Amino acid sequence: MAQQRGLRPNLKQIERRDWELWSIALILITVFGGGLILFLYSASLVPGTLPPSLSRFFGLLLFGLVGLVLLLNIYLIDKRRSLNQLRQVALEQEAELAEQARIAVTDPLTGLYNRRYFDEVMPSELDRAIEQQRGVDIILVDIDNFRKLNQEKGHLLADYALREFGAILKRCVRATDHVFRFGGDELLALLFGAKPDTTPIVEGRVHQFLKAHKRFQQRFGEPLTVSIGAATYKEGNTLEGLVEEAEVNLQAAKAAKAAHMPAASTPPDSAAPN
């Protein structure tokens, strides 16, 4: 990624340096050639000033100097065009590398960050947030009865539920927060710089958005709900510790919800990924 970010400015620096060198060379040749032409032309107006041999080849010399300037301009224009083509190829390669890097850290179903990005990048982000004394919260969300939904409604509708809910969760957090597909039907939001009341607000938004999404709910024939477990960073904790705490709170939320459900209702899924 660092190599990609450095490619564009480095290319511009090379382009600017070459253009400056070409401009200096063109100016020097033009000034020298113009001065020489002016001298020879002025001398040719005074009989006897130029040697007979030089006077005889004055026209040819003048033509050669003009031709040299023209050839130099053609050469510079060709080099400029070649450099532009090289720059275009480099930018296309940079865009391709950036797209490959995006795909490597993105879940193909939901478009959220994937578990790989969480495991590789977020520990260092947590360390940076701790150094800057910024609050860190984790919100772990699990779709209730997702296994049942998958079995009864089919994989396509279950995939649709994950995609839509991923979009809902992104709308409920800030643009600077990170949202992941953590595993199976579990989604995770990592909030840096969160205030003490941020997590309850986000949880409330999630439930409100999900309930208000009528078209989304109508596709399933029954209300689609989620359980949420959150955790807040405390001194000495780790990213793994935060996730474990959020999972414990998630299971507690699912157990509390099951305790209030009628006996004939289907209990919620376990936390194991599907």
Residues forming the active site: 185
Q: How far apart are CA 191 and CA 136, in angstroms?
A: 6
Query: 56: part of which helix (H) or strand (E)?
Result: helix 52-56
Please, which residues have CB within 8 angstroms of residue 257's CB and are 6 or more apart in sequence?
144, 225, 227, 268
Beta strands in the chain (DSSP E): 136-143, 178-183, 186-192, 226-232
Say if CB 138 and CB 246 are below 8 A apart. Answer: yes
| 6 φ/ψ angles, rounded to the nearest 5 degrees | -85, -15
Say if CB 209 and CB 168 are below 8 A apart. Answer: yes
Q: Which amino acid is at 73?
A: N
Say if CB 198 and CB 137 are below 8 A apart. Answer: yes
Count of all residues that appear for the chain in the document: 274
